[in-house]
Amino acid sequence: GLSNIGGEMLQKGLTQLVDAEMLYQRGRPPRAHYVFKHALVKDAAYNSLLRRQRQQYHRQVAELLETNSPDVVEAHPELLAHHYSEADIADRAVDYWQLAGQRAIERSANAEAIAHLYFAIDAIGTLPASGNTAQRELKLQTMLAGPLIATKGYGAPESAAVFTRALELSKQVNDPSLMFPVLYQQWVFNLIGSRID
């Protein structure tokens, strides 16, 4: 669905790549799936595309998945997040990284949750600053605190950085329901670190 090449010509090219042992073919055309035999070949092919072209393909893949494969979206939101990140559509990428982080938290996959939420925070940093952006990041920082505490503890520098950033953001967001968990985490962080004053 992503290629502008006609079906017959595309199939001929794919057959040549399979014959040259650059691709594996799984299944029979037109429902076959193709996988590069070696990551270096895949990287070379990917890097030969212009940046704008790569972004366009990532966007098309993400939109096709959303439209045609809701089961894939449901099971692997990180896949959509990756494609939207690579397409430079940060707003959608944030949504899917957050969803992937939430799913990982629900499975107690803390390292995975941390990675997804950091990707979301990086993506949100590319959006124009606004009250809505601050509120979205505050939710992400609050979500990130739990997995970080579970893996690194309250006293870890990473945890401290999240608490500090969340406190900064909570001052920009006029929502007491979001501020309470931040203040509670700050209180516990200071109590455990014997910063009683």
Which three-class secondary structure state does DSSP give residue 76?
coil
Checking if the pLDDT of 108 tops 80, the result is yes
pLDDT tens-digit map of 9-41:
656 666 776 677 677 778 777 667 767 677 776
pLDDT tens per residue across span 130-164: 888 999 999 999 899 889 989 998 778 898 888 88
Chain position carrying tokens 């505490």: 149
Tokens 């606004």 correspond to 130
Spatial neighbors of 14 by CB under 8 A, at least 6 apart, are 23, 25, 29, 32, 34
* Token pair for 43: 């990287």
Contact yes or no for 91/125 (Cβ under 8 A): no
- Neighbouring C-beta atoms of residue 84, cutoff 10 Å: 25
- Strands 23-26 and 33-36 turn out to be antiparallel
pLDDT at 96: 97
In the chain, the amino acid numbered 1 is G
Of 59-63, 116-120, 169-173, the one with minimum mean pLDDT is: 169-173
pLDDT at 5 over 60: no
The number of beta carbons lying within 10 Å of the beta carbon of residue 10 is 14
Q: Quick one: which of 156, 117, 112, 160 has its CA closest to 138? A: 117
Rg, Å, the chain Cα set: 22
pLDDT at position 171: 81
Tell me the C-alpha distance between 41 and 39, whole Å.
Answer: 5
What residue type is 154 in one-letter code? Y
Q: How much is the pTM?
A: 0.72
**Rounded distance between C-alpha atoms, residue 195 and residue 178, angstroms:** 24
The confidence band for 1, taking pLDDT boundaries of 50, 70 and 90, is: very low
Kindly report, residue by residue over 183-194, the tens digit of the pLDDT. 666 656 655 655
Residue type, 149: I
pLDDT tier, 85 (very low <50, low <70, confident <90, very high otherwise):
very high
pLDDT in tens, 47-66: 655 678 888 888 998 999 99
